[in-house]
């Protein structure tokens, strides 16, 4: 550990020193960051130009959308290590052009076998431990699913082996990337807890200081880890020396001497890693206007809650001619859908999730009767029972919504054959658990904090309590939209529990309000998740819509800062499939300093 740490320190310090002394910027050309690209033969949209370029390079070499998605995701593990990496999990949604079918993989993290419903309770008081103590601990680390997801996706639908898909990320980790404002800001947000963990300090605080904007950050440990995966496959994470290193870091977090916080030991064993499997699942399916909406089934709540929201809105005509009413109905629909999400959604291996009922048009119509064009529902709103039609109209009092981390990242890819991927992956909190596996170059997740620490209402059903081998409920919502059986949109976002509202609002902006896809992504956001107040971005609060909505009873507060010092909601990456085989790749123009959209063959 000491040798590796010194290596990372030396390399990173040299990069920082070179910038400080006014040496020229790195000679290698940096990928250009652009939020919109239009062209053909394949496309990639992600939050980072290095990652998007990795995917485009694979497409140009003859790879397909799945190959490009894995290459992009692996590169994100290098340049966006606080949001994603092989220490986490995610959900993979794939449209197969040959069969016309959408298929999905549930690569969510799982709880170790020793986890119990009361794991996050203080044994002395019986109350939940402080959230911060759960995040910064081995106790919050779930068994990672990302490496297994990459391998299974490539074996089932790709054209290249994992070793080739990892090549761009290996080079990127070895050669390094240029530190930007966003990366430095995210590091600064995590600085105090990172300083509490020795290998995390060594990797992300070179020379004991925040990384310098313009310096080059290298991660030879991660390059070596990726090479190990290239040689042995994903099993290297789940068996052998790397698995033992992961378990040791979880059970005995490598806390720095004199650290000002205690990291609780975790419960993971090597047997938990060896037992991990990716779960293929049928996608969720709903219809909206003339479109087919495909998403991720439980353990994610993304597909059902986006689908229910749109089923509710399908009972109304929304248009830009009455933007205020359109926004009002969108906010009320998500308020209702979140009440049902919090009651019914959990790991389907442990609880009966009424997926078909939640997504039925009849249930959406039943719930839509709650919406008034002149008034706002009170939250927390009570859930309804999709198993019993006509149960959804009486409004009652429900439980407060649970907490969920704001991190995560998303990417979309397509290829010249017409295959499409929408993939959301995460390590949960910005910086995950804060624990870097010594000598391995990646952070471990804190995904198990997505469990409810205790029942929201004593005696009420609690489908999302911790349990052995259980997958915590997620809000990730990778989505593929078909029109006439062909791809129309692929979309998703990071943002914790705001992911669902971000995807839903962007779809409403584009489909109902007639905005172009880039404008639909850029528009100010508001996120109502069955709370008394709706979180909103500053631009939304400054708009004329706010006052008009407040006259209808809507109440707004400024969204909290997440991965940026500024309050922002989500960070969409999307593709739109145009006539004549062209595709428009679109990403955030400003949020998180802007995303990166690329195509193989740009339109002249």
pLDDT (tens digit, 9 = 90+) per residue, 197-219? 999 999 999 999 999 999 999 99
Gap between the Cα atoms of 394 and 559, Å rounded: 30
**How many separate domains does the chain show?**
1
pLDDT category at 8 given cuts 50, 70, 90 is very low
In a domain, 564, yes or no: no
pLDDT tier at 261, thresholds 50, 70, 90: confident
Q: What is the pLDDT of residue 296?
A: 98
pLDDT bucket at 4, cuts 50 / 70 / 90: very low
Percent of the chain with pLDDT over 70: 92
- Between 593 and 93, the more confident residue is 93
pLDDT, mean of residues 82-108: 98
Is the pLDDT at 295 greater than 80? The verdict is yes
| Three-state DSSP string of 104-128 | EEEECCECCCCCCCCCCECCCCCCE
How large is the average pLDDT for residues 482-506? Answer: 97
* Mean pLDDT computed over every residue of the chain: 92
Core vs surface per residue 31-63: b (16+ CB within 10 A) or e:
bebbbbbbbbbbbbbbbbbbbbbbbbbbbeeeb
Mean pLDDT check: name the lowest of 104-108, 220-224, 371-375, 455-459: 455-459
Rounded mean pLDDT of 369-391? 91
Task: Report yes or no: 353 and 370 within 8 Å, Cβ to Cβ.
Answer: no
Q: What is the pLDDT of residue 165?
A: 98
pLDDT single digits (tens) 151-160: 999 999 999 9
Q: Is the pLDDT of residue 472 over 90?
A: yes
Active site residue 408: yes
- For residues 355 and 298, give the distance between their C-alpha atoms in angstroms, rounded to a whole number: 8
The reported pLDDT for the residue numbered 404 is 59
Bridge partner list, 411: 423
Q: How far apart are CA 421 and CA 159, in angstroms?
A: 14
Of the listed ranges 226-240, 376-390, 500-514, the least confidently predicted one is 376-390
Predicted confidence at residue 469, as pLDDT, reads 98
DSSP class per residue in 323-361: HHHHHHHHHHHHHHHHHHHHHH-S-TTTS---HHHHT-H
pLDDT-derived band at 402 (thresholds 50, 70, 90) equals: low
Residue 580 maps to a domain:
no
Give dist(CA 563, CA 565) in Å, integer.
7
pLDDT in tens, 336-370: 999 999 999 999 999 999 999 999 999 999 999 99
pLDDT level of residue 6 (50, 70, 90 thresholds): very low
Is residue 191 included in any domain, yes or no?
yes
Q: Is the pLDDT of residue 577 over 50?
A: yes
How far apart CA 285 and CA 304 sit, in angstroms, is 8
pTM for the structure as a whole: 0.94
pLDDT, residue 428, reads: 94
Residue-level pLDDT at 16: 33
Label residue 20 by pLDDT band (50, 70, 90).
Answer: very low
Q: Is the pLDDT confidence value at 26 over 60?
A: no
Tokens of 8: 């990372």
Q: Which two tokens stand for residue 58?
A: 């694979």
**Average pLDDT value for residue range 526-542:** 96
Q: Is the pLDDT of residue 328 over 70?
A: yes
How far is the C-alpha of 115 from the C-alpha of 467, rounded, in Å? 5
CA angle 312/314/315 to nearest 5° reads: 80
Between 2 and 276, the higher pLDDT residue: 276
Q: Is the pLDDT of residue 10 over 50?
A: no
Q: Quick one: angle between helices 220-232 and 167-175, nearest 10?
A: 160
The region of weakest confidence among 266-270, 382-386, 414-418 is 382-386
Residue 219 lies in a domain: yes
Nearest partner of 299 among 107, 440, 493, 437, judged by Cα:
107
Could you tell me the pLDDT band of residue 492, with boundaries at 50, 70 and 90?
very high
Q: What pLDDT is stored for residue 458 in this prediction? A: 77
What pLDDT is recorded for position 24?
A: 34
**List 119, 309, 408, 502, catalytic entry:** 408
In whole angstroms, give the CA distance from residue 268 to residue 447: 13
Tell me what pLDDT residue 564 has: 56
In a domain, 181, yes or no: yes
Q: What was the pLDDT predicted at 405?
A: 56
The pLDDT of residue 305 is 98
Provide the CB-side half-sphere exposure for 377 (13 A, CA).
33
What pLDDT is stored for residue 31 in this prediction? 83
Mean pLDDT of 516-545: 97
Which residues, in sequence order, are bridge partners of residue 291? 288, 483
Give the model's pLDDT for residue 397. Answer: 78
Domain extent at residue 176: 2-106+126-275+415-444
pLDDT band at 263 (very low <50, low <70, confident <90, very high): very high
Stretch 528-543: mean pLDDT, rounded?
96
Assigned domain for 205 exists: yes
Q: What is the pLDDT of residue 415?
A: 98
Confidence (pLDDT) at 457? 77
Instruction: Calculate the CA dihedral of residues 429, 140, 304, 458 and round it to 10 degrees.
Output: -120
Query: Can you tell me whether residue 497 is helix, strand or coil?
Result: helix
Concatenate the DSSP letters of all residues of 240-273 into one string.
HHHHHHHHHHHHS--BPTT-SS--B-----HHHH
Q: What is the pLDDT of residue 403?
A: 61
Q: Which residue has the higher pLDDT, 561 or 187?
A: 187
- Examine residue 14 and state whether it is found in any structural domain, yes or no: yes
Top pLDDT among 4 and 564 is at: 564
For the chain, percent of residues with pLDDT exceeding 90? 87
Residue 509 lies in a domain: no
Q: What is the DSSP letter of 82?
A: T
Residue whose pair of structure tokens reads 């020795």 in the numeric block: 198
């Amino acid at each position: 550990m000491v040798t590796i740490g010194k290596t990372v320190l030396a390399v990173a310090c040299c990069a920082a020193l070179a910038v400080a002394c006014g040496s020229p910027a790195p000679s290698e050309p940096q990928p250009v960051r652009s939020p919109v690209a239009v062209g053909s033969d394949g496309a990639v949209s992600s939050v980072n130009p290095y990652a998007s370029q990795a995917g485009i390079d694979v497409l140009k070499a003859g790879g397909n959308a799945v190959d490009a998605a894995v290459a992009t995701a692996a590169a994100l593990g290098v340049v966006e290590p606080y949001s994603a990496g092989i220490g986490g999990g995610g959900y993979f949604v794939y449209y197969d052009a040959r069969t016309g079918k959408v298929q999905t993989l549930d690569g969510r993290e799982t709880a170790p076998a020793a986890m119990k419903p009361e794991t996050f309770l203080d044994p002395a008081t019986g109350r939940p431990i402080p959230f911060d103590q759960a995040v910064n601990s081995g106790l919050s680390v779930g068994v990672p699913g990302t490496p297994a997801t990459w391998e299974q996706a490539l074996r089932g639908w790709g054209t290249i082996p994992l070793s080739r898909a990892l090549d761009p990320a290996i080079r990127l980790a070895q050669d390094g990337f240029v530190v930007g404002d966003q990366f430095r800001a995210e590091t600064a947000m995590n600085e105090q807890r990172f300083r509490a963990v020795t290998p995390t300090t060594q990797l992300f605080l070179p020379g004991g200081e925040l990384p310098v904007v313009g310096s080059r950050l290298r991660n030879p440990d991660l390059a070596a880890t990726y090479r190990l995966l290239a040689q042995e496959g994903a099993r290297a994470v789940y068996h052998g020396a790397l698995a033992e290193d992961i378990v040791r870091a979880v059970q005995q977090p490598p806390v720095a001497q004199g650290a000002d916080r205690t990291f609780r030991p975790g419960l993971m064993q090597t047997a938990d890693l060896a037992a991990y499997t990716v779960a293929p699942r049928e996608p969720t399916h709903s219809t909206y206007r003339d479109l087919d909406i495909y998403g991720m089934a439980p353990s994610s709540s993304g597909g059902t809650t986006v689908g229910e929201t749109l089923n509710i809105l399908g009972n109304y005509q929304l248009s830009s001619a009455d933007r205020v009413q359109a926004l009002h109905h969108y906010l009320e629909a998500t308020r209702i859908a979140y009440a049902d999400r919090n009651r019914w959604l959990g790991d389907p291996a442990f609880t009966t999730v009424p997926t078909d009922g939640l997504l039925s048009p009849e249930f959406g119509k039943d719930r839509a009767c709650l919406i008034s064009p002149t008034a706002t529902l009170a939250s927390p709103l009570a859930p309804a029972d999709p198993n019993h039609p006509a149960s959804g109209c009486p409004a009652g009092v429900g439980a407060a919504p649970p907490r969920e981390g704001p991190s995560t990242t998303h990417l979309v890819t397509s290829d010249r054959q017409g295959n499409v991927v929408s993939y959301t992956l995460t390590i949960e909190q910005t910086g995950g658990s804060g624990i870097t596996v010594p000598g391995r170059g990646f952070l471990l997740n804190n995904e198990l904090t997505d469990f409810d620490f205790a029942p929201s209402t004593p005696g009420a059903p609690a489908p999302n309590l911790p349990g052995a081998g259980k997958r915590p409920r997620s809000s990730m919502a990778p989505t593929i939209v078909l029109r006439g059986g062909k791809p129309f949109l692929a979309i998703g976002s990071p943002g914790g529990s705001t992911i669902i509202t971000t995807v839903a609002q962007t779809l409403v902006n584009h489909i109902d309000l007639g905005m172009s896809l880039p404008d639909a992504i850029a528009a100010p956001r508001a996120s109502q998740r069955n709370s008394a107040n709706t979180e909103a971005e500053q631009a939304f609060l400054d708009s004329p819509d706010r006052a008009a909505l407040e006259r209808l009873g809507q109440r707004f507060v400024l969204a909290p800062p997440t991965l940026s010092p500024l309050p922002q909601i989500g960070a969409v990456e999307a593709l739109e499939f145009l006539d004549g085989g062209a595709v428009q790749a679109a990403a955030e123009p400003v949020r998180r300093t802007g995303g990166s959209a690329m195509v193989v063959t740009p339109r002249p």
